[in-house]
Amino acid sequence: MKELLILAVVTFFTLVTYYLVEPFAHSQMHKHFESDGFAYKDLPAVTKKGDASRGKDLVSACIGCHGIEVAGFQAPMDAVSAAATFGVNPPDLSNAGVVFDEKFLANLIKNPAHALMVEHKFDPAKGQMHPMSEYYATGDDKEQEVADIVAYLRSIAVKQEELTPKMAFETACGRCHAVNYGNWTQIGEKPKFKKKQDELAFETQLLDYQDYLAKYMGTLPPDLSMYIRSRGEHYIETFIENPQNYLKGTAMPRVGVSAESAEKVIEHLKDVGDSKRHERETVGKYVMIYMLIFAIFAILWKKEVWRDLH
Partner 1 sequence: MAHFTKAKSLHDWLNQRLAIDTLRRVLATEYWIPKNINFLWAMGMVLAITFALLLVSGIFLLMYYQPNVDLAFDSVNYTIMQEVGYGWLWRHIHGVAASVVFLIIYIHMFTGIYYGSYKKGREMIWISGMLLFVAFSAEAFSGYMLPWGQMSYWAGMVITNLFSMGGLQLDGLVEWIRGDYIPAQAFLNRFFMLHVLLIPLAIIGLIVLHFGALRIPHVNNQDGEEIDFEAEAAKYKAGNKKESKVIAFVNDFMSKDMMVVSIYLIFFFYLVFYHYDFAMDPVNFDPADGLKTPTHIYPEWYFLWSYEILRPFSTNVGLIAFAFAQVIFFLLPFLDRSPNAVPASRRGLFKYWFWAMLIDMIILTGMGKLPPEGIFSTIGLYAALLFIGLWIVLPFITKFEKKV
Per CB under 8 A, residues contacting partner 1 are 2-3, 6-7, 10, 13-14, 16-18, 20-22, 24-25, 28-29, 180-181, 225-226, 229-232, 273, 275-276, 279-281, 283-284, 287-288, 291-292, 294-295, 297-299, 301-302, 304-306, 308-310
User: What is the DSSP-derived secondary structure letter of residue 126?
Assistant: G
**Could you tell me the smallest distance in angstroms from the CB atom of residue 185 to partner 1?**
16
Q: Which is nearer to partner 1, 159 or 307 (CB)?
A: 307
Q: Which is nearer to partner 1, 6 or 200 (CB)?
A: 6
Using alpha carbons only, how large is the chain's radius of gyration in Å?
26
**Could you tell me the smallest distance in angstroms from the CB atom of residue 33 to partner 1?**
17
Closest CA to 89 of 186, 168, 184: 186
Whole-angstrom Cα distance, residue 136 to residue 62? 11
**Could you tell me the smallest distance in angstroms from the CB atom of residue 34 to partner 1?**
19
The strand pairing partners of 179, in sequence order, are: 184
**Could you tell me the smallest distance in angstroms from the CB atom of residue 275 to partner 1?**
5
Q: Which is nearer to partner 1, 124 or 284 (CB)?
A: 284
Closest CA to 91 of 113, 75, 107: 75
Q: Which is nearer to partner 1, 138 or 180 (CB)?
A: 180
Q: Which is nearer to partner 1, 11 or 160 (CB)?
A: 11
Contacts for 262 with CB less than 8 Å, ≥ 6 apart:
38, 237, 240, 241
Contacts for 121 with CB less than 8 Å, ≥ 6 apart:
113, 128, 251
| SS3 of residue 3 by DSSP | helix
Give the CA angle between residues 195, 199, 202 to the nearest 5°.
140
Do the beta carbons of residue 133 and residue 65 sit within 8 Å? no
**Could you tell me the smallest distance in angstroms from the CB atom of residue 309 to partner 1?**
5
Q: Which is nearer to partner 1, 94 or 225 (CB)?
A: 225
**Could you tell me the smallest distance in angstroms from the CB atom of residue 270 to partner 1?**
12
